[in-house]
A and B are shown apart, each in its own frame.
Chain A
Amino acid sequence: QVQLVESGGGVVQPGRSLRLSCAASGFTFSNYAMHWVRQAPGKGLEWVAVMSYTGSNKYYADSVKGRFTISRDNSKKTLYLQMNSLRGEDTAMYYCARDLGQQLGFFDYWGQGTLVTVSS
């Protein structure tokens, strides 16, 4: 069965960096675009970034552009999110999600999330 398991969250000071990972199993990872979606405590969902199945294309929400970098290692079946210059407003649960198609933005499977808290 499809499984996505995020890791790497934690408490980090403003301005510091953190790298999240999402380990995939149960499907051919290299055939699917992958996304990061976040949810601030008590708030709604916010799309963060997408990477194409080959890794050649990546796109970001304006709120993270220039600070976050999405990447993937298809040989390790793992998606990453490098987060730099973290701010308080980046505090959220971060989910990785599989795209049903080739970047159609239909998130058919989600991980359980990893919590990032930016605080001094």
Chain B
Amino acid sequence: QSALTQPASVSGSPGQSITISCTGTSSDVGNYNLVSWYQQHPGKAPKFMIYEVSERPSGVSNRFSGSKSGNTASLTISGLQAEDEADYYCCSYAGSSTWVFGGGTRLTVL
């Protein structure tokens, strides 16, 4: 159950697009489409942003999108806004009814 690999930080200017990668293995990300993404502002609980690789829950802006290729899932945020500044975590099913999170990525909006 090793954590998925995410970049520690990414940054972008308002209006730009950024992508956060989430690299796992053929035992988790690569083997299941059960990848989800969460946004967490400081001192707050995580917020559900993307599920099943690319599905958006109701109420989540369509500026957020997800994809997957092989063992790597990605979260793209387009039209960056100041309120997008937060930590982002990916999560994947890892088999045997267990799940693994990524280490988290701090997004800074310049």
Contact = CB atoms under 8 A, between A and B. Distances in A.
A107 B36 contact: yes
B89 interface: yes
A59 B89 contact: no
Contacts of B103: 44
A106 B51 contact: yes
Given A61-B98, A62-B1, A106-B36, A47 B91 contact: yes
Number of contact residues on B: which range applies? 20 to 34
A100 B52 CA distance: 11
A47 B101 contact: yes
Interface string B27-67: 00000001010101000011110011000010000000000
Given A62-B1, A100-B51, A45 B46 contact: yes
Interface in A59-112: 59-63, 95, 100, 103-112
A46 B94 CA distance: 13
Interface residues of A, number: 26
Contacts, number: 70
A105 B34 contact: yes
A24 B103 CA distance: 28
Nearest to B102: A44
Contacts of B91: 45, 47, 105, 107
A105 B45 contact: no
A108 B3 CA distance: 21
Given A44-B89, A44-B104, A59 B97 contact: yes
Interface of B: 1, 3, 34, 36, 38, 40, 45-48, 51-52, 57, 89, 91-93, 96-104
